[in-house]
Structure 1
């Protein structure tokens, strides 16, 4: 396939999960592929910092066991997903209350006919995950009738094919929720804080299609994090590539369909280029690309003498009593993230870094304990953490710019790990078809692959 005058058949700019996903598809089809990454490590925003034995994620995006690409992407068979307790704990009217719990989660597992150790591990963890009711947790939100209506709505959504979910009229997410006949209390105390956490959108101006997909995934799976920190996922992808495929510390400054010019490493030639950077960098390298707005995210990591909650639960603040949107004792979810005997409390603010005193005061209310002696381990702020998805939102933005030039990333699909992985698959398949190679059963699943 390779003209030896070229450095590679394909050069991919960016070693985030979208670029690594594309690289796995292309190398699997026999193309010699070179991945260039400006940073010293792979993963992009899925980075994890090590501080005093703690593993601290830089962006607190939640994953779901229902994401199809976590099971279909080569290299992720060994990924261990650590699930939260079923449902969530919601802080409402000054107390913690347990939400509706998806009943389909215990059936989550790998696709029929495929051995996936990571998915099997997740399934076993789902079945055995502790479900201890915290001392402060009260009965479920709302009355029995409200809970029954919510449970019926989410159960129907879980059983609805994605193409039918996307056939609904598209509105801003909050407007759509309020128009569907659910009690306003259910919307404000459960659905709104849940979707704010899943979409990183506190005002819920995102497309209702994206919100429905997020709820569809929530109802079919379990919220989770990768064992060992967010960095584990891209590192597994990188390890599945042939040796020498990835070159870190190489920054692309210009590109065309047949070459990439780098800062300090000369010009590298190829037969096609895949641009797999973040949205801003992509727009700088390809000025014709539209750059979206972004949701800023701040992640704060604390430790304490004792765990403030003996349960792997996600806590949402429906009262919106402070800057923190959601928080969890992540060491209860994934013990590998903290030294033995030291809890790791991770809290997410959907905005700029707030005053520490406001965070501590809110966390004291949420956990029902003093935070005066908690130690702040790190604060990570990313003003461009998550691309916005306002209505109308194209769930399949084009990945083919022209023959020989392709683009992928979460800004081309949904602003999730699932969207990033699937956009890499789409870009690779488009390139393969231009090269006269059929992707075959690598399975273009269209909208069915979105979650």
Structure 2
């Protein structure tokens, strides 16, 4: 695919992304002697200038950002900035980039040692392990504006799936991309012939509607929607439950039909992919475009002060956002930070979140060679879906090795890691040769307690980001529970702040 470079945000800067840095450096951080001299002359009280007093000329906006940079160099931890952003997940990063595009100074605080929030990748024994089952759909509209797809080197899945049912694997294919494959599966037991035709018709219908219209359309549960569209209970149970359940982490398909429509349209127009350097390459790319010294890692915000514009860090330091505060953390954490304040989010009811467990194994070979998602359509066992990640992106493992990814829906809190590992091995031994599975080397188990917000009806997938005086919230719980929803909500939070300040 060829995508034009985004115009909404500044262009990506081709700089290497350092491992676990405390501060992300930008080439312009190599200040000249003249700027260094200027910084020594500036008094701390003059380091942040009200935007309304600035000229609208580009030179004035550049001067404002220069002062933010100098402030951060002169005072290792400046006490005041334009905007404080809490959380460097996709939403917080998108908010930061939107503010930066308007030359508004900010500080972005992240509690962990790197950006991404839930969208992270770890390197273990030469394998790339995404933190939970995550795929990137290329047709996401906000992502197309914001990301440089070419540099992500996206590797595609086959457009369809293999379904394990009744002791064998059965193919379900996208009829418009794999017509002949689809014809060959017309009589398999994963649904009726009518079901296969309905998949094609639903694909065409989804592609014809706008994303915005889908997010505000009349809603029901996804299961109710599938039944209303005429799908049989057999294809719902054998295909849609493991397929959509693995995306929504919802085995009952109670999730709103709005999210189903949004994802189905995205799949109809785009491809399921993995970045060659792991899913964490997406937030890494966003972070590489932030200005100097505005991203603070290992900086956990523990509370908001009474004025809702001041945050206190775990180490006791206090920072004030002169123009506002943006909360880009997960819904439970946002509610905790606001629980003592008169803010809209503080009193909101939080639905139980969606959880997942992902187990990774290293192997010498893959029993299936295709870059395809494999679903459990049997209705038995604990595995929901699995795939051989190195079939999709060979960079996910050392040369000659295979990375096995197995996903479960739910938290499995009463199970130990060892019990889960043994149960998964036993179940996979019925799908593939037992001797093959026995040789798999367990790499890591990820338990993702807050994998996604719970978006059962009724929903509002375009929530107002304003949650208190000068306080804005963003995250996928404010929009669609997708990568795209997180990016959109971050931009909308920043734009609401800009509008409220009259800029």
TM-score normalised by structure 1 residue count:
0.85
CA distance in 2 between partners of 1:45 and 1:184 (Å): 33
1:260 to 304, 311, 323: 311
Q: Is 1:101 aligned to 2:174, yes or no?
A: yes
Q: 1:403, CA displacement in angstroms?
A: 4.4
Q: Give the deviation of 1:212 after TM superposition.
A: 1.9
Structure 2 equivalent of residue 177 of structure 1: 226
**Alignment-derived partner of residue 111 in structure 1:** none
Instruction: Name the residue aligned to 1:283.
Output: 335
CA distance in 2, matches of 1:164, 1:237: 28
The SS at the match of 1:381 is strand
Determine which structure has the larger helix proportion and give its number: 2
Whether the 8 Å CA contact 1:13–1:36 is kept in 2: the answer is: yes
Alignment partners' CA distance in 1, 2:186 and 2:115: 40
Q: Offset of 1:7 from its aligned partner?
A: 2.5
Q: Secondary structure at the match of 2:241?
A: helix
Query: Which of the numbers 393, 404, 411 marks the counterpart of 1:345?
Result: 404
Say which is worse superposed, 160-169 or 145-154, in terms of deviation: 160-169
* 1: CA distance, partners of 2:302 / 2:148: 30
1:396 aligned residue (459, 462, 473): 462
Conserved 8 A contact 1:104-1:221: no
Residue 114 of structure 2: aligned partner: 41
Does the 8 Å contact 2:163/2:375 carry over to 1? Answer: yes
TM-score (normalised: structure 2): 0.76
Task: Write the mapping of 1:194-273 to structure 2, written as runs, cut at 5 A.
Answer: 194-255=243-304, 256-271=307-322, 272-273=324-325
Q: Secondary structure at the match of 1:324?
A: coil
Q: What is the alpha-carbon root mean square deviation over aligned residues?
A: 2.6
Task: Extract unaligned runs of 5+ from structure 2.
Answer: 1-47, 51-66, 68-77, 340-345
Structure 1 Cα separation of the partners of residues 147 and 354 of structure 2: 30
Counterparts of 2:293 and 2:110, CA distance in 1? 13
Asked if the contact 1:100/1:151 (under 8 Å) is kept, the reply is no
Instruction: Tell me the matched-pair count.
Output: 411
Tell me the equivalent position of 2:33: none
Match of 2:151 among 61, 74, 78: 78
Matched, 1:18 2:91: yes
Question: Following the alignment from structure 1 to structure 2, what is the Cα–Cα distance between the partners of residues 191 and 54?
Answer: 30
Decide which structure has the larger Cα Rg and report it.
2
Deviations 1:153-184 (A, max 9, x none): 22222222335545653222212211222222
Q: Which residues of structure 1 form unaligned runs of 5+?
A: 106-130, 438-451
| 8 Å Cα contact 2:187-2:193 kept in structure 1 | no
Q: Is the 8 A contact 1:47 1:58 kept in 2?
A: yes
1:294: Cα distance to partner? 0.8
CA distance in 2 between counterparts of 1:216 and 1:278 reads: 26
Deviation string for 1:401-438 (max 9, x for gaps)? Answer: 2442111111111222111111101101111111222x
Q: Is the 8 A contact 2:154 2:274 kept in 1?
A: yes
